[in-house]
Amino acid sequence: MADTFASFGAKVARFQKELTDDATSHAIGKMAKIAATKAASSDLGGDPKFSGWAPTLDTRYDIVRPGVISFHPSKRSAGPWTVAQQGRNQGNAGGFAGPSINRKTGLTSLTKSGAVRRSRGARARRWNGVTRGKGTADTALAAIDKQVPKIVQQRIGRAISKTF
C-alpha cells in the first residue's frame, strides 16, 4: 500500500529526529577522544604524558548545538598539547619588553607627573632548553577526520533502516 502524504511526512519527521539527536555527536566525540589519546601516546612513548609532567594530554568535547561539536584539550592539558604540537622555548614569545609594561594591557605605566614609571624586572623563568614539536595535534586531527565520515554514514544507515 502506498504512503499518504501525512504518513510519509511523519516518517520524514522521525528520520529527521533520528539524525538530529545527540547520539551521533556523542559517538563522534568519544571516537575523537580515543583517536587523540592514541596519537598522543604514540608521539610521547606509550602513554599520553610527558615524563616528569603531572598532566596527561586529555581532551574533551562539548555539544554546542545539534550537529556541532567543540573538540579541544582540557583546561589542564592545554599547555602540554601546545608543547607536543609546537615544541618548547622556540623563541616566539614576542611582545615588547620595556620600562613598566603592564603585562595584561601591554601599556606603559606613567607617574603623576607624566614620566615613564620605572620598576624592577620580573624574575626570569627557569630555562629547560629547546625542543622541537612533534605535530601531535595535527596527527590526531588527521585520524579524526578520517574516521568521522564512517561514523556518520553508519548512523545515517541505521536511521534509514529504522525509519523507512
Q: What is the mean pLDDT of residues 124-144?
A: 89
Over 60: is that where the pLDDT of 46 sits?
Answer: yes
Over 70: is that where the pLDDT of 70 sits?
Answer: yes
Q: Tell me the percentage of the chain whose pLDDT exceeds 90.
A: 47
Residue written as grid cell 516518517: 11
Cα three-residue angle 121-127-132, rounded to 5 degrees: 130
Q: What is the mean pLDDT of residues 39-66?
A: 92
Nearest CA-CA partner of 134 in 71, 42, 35, 37 = 42
Over 60: is that where the pLDDT of 94 sits?
Answer: no
Q: Which amino acid is at 9?
A: G
Over 80: is that where the pLDDT of 92 sits?
Answer: no
Rounded CA separation 110/95 (Å): 19
Rounded CA separation 53/94 (Å): 26
Over 80: is that where the pLDDT of 151 sits?
Answer: yes
- Say how far residue 75 (Cα) sits from the centre of its chain: 10
Domain boundaries, the chain: 5-163
Q: What is the mean pLDDT of residues 88-115?
A: 71
Q: Choose between 76 and 128: higher pLDDT.
A: 76
